[in-house]
Structure 1
C-alpha cells in the first residue's frame, strides 16, 4: 500500500494513524444495551498497479485491533461526516450479513425439501415473511407485547436465552409450533400461473 509516495504496511499504517473523531454506538451484549465509543479517521492511499485513488478508513473500539476499511468512494478526509458515512455503509452491510445468518440458522433455510425453482422461491417468500414478522412486527406492535413475552419465555425454558433477541423469538416460535403436526392443508397447485404463490384459505 502506498501512502505519501512510500510503500507501507496497511496494518502498521492503521496502528500509527491518529483517530480524533468519535461516535457512540449502541451495542447489544447479554441482552442489554451498552454504549460503545469508537474513534475513526481516514487517509488517502494507492495500490501498486491500480491507478484509482483509494481511502483507508481506520476505526478503533470494536476490538483490540483497529478495523480497516479500504474504499474507492470519495472521502473528504477533513470532514468527519464523510468518513463516518463509509463506516455506516459497512455497519449496514454487517447487519445484512447477520440477518442472512440468522435466517439460515433459525429457519434451516439450507435444509429444505423442495427442489424446483418455483418451490424454493415460494419457500423463501414464506420464510422471509415469518422472519420479518418475528424480527420487526412483533417488536414494534405494542398489542402483541404479551405474545412476544410468551414466546420469549418458551425460548428461555427450552434453550436459555440466545444473545441475539431475534434468535430467542425464532426459538420460541419453533417450540410453540413444533407439536402441531397438521402443517398446511389443501394447498392447490395453480393451473393458470405456476409462478403465483397461492393458498386455499377459504
Structure 2
C-alpha cells in the first residue's frame, strides 16, 4: 500500500512509519517542518496542496495535532484556538480533503488521546479536541462509500515521553510507542471502521 503519515517524524509517527515499512508498505511522511512533504494542518489550502503533489494513496494516517496546556479558569478563546485549528479541524480537514485522493478500499486513521477519558490538570483543550475527533470518526464511518474506512487511535502517555511529562501524568502507567504503532497498523491493514483503538494499558 501507498501510505501518507502526517506527523511521521514525531515519537508516535516514527514508530508508525517503522511498523508500516516492516510490512513492506510505501510510506511518505509529511509535517510542518520535516518530512518528505510539507503541510500545515491548520490550513486547508496547505492540505490540498500536499495531496495534489502526493497523488493517490491507499491510506492516510495522522499522528499530528497540537494543543495548548492551560488551566480552564485562565483559558481564553485564543488559547483554545490552537487545539481547535490543529488537533481537531486539522485532522478532520485532512480526512475531508484526503478522501478525494484515496483509492477504493482505502483508510483514514486519526489520533485522539487519553485525556478525553482520563483528565489531567490543564488538559481541557486537548480533551475537547480528542473527543471531537473520536465523535467525528464514529459518525463519518456511517457515510463513507467505496469501501473507505476511518478509525482513530487514542494513546496513553508514552514511555518515551514520560520523563518529560511525568509531573502532569502522575499515577499513569505509560505505554511504549511500539504498542501505539500496532494499533495504527490494525487500523490501516485491518477491516474495521468507526473504531477508536484505546492504547491505555
* TM bin (shorter chain): under 0.3
TM-score normalised over the length of structure 2: 0.24
TM-score normalised over the length of structure 1: 0.24
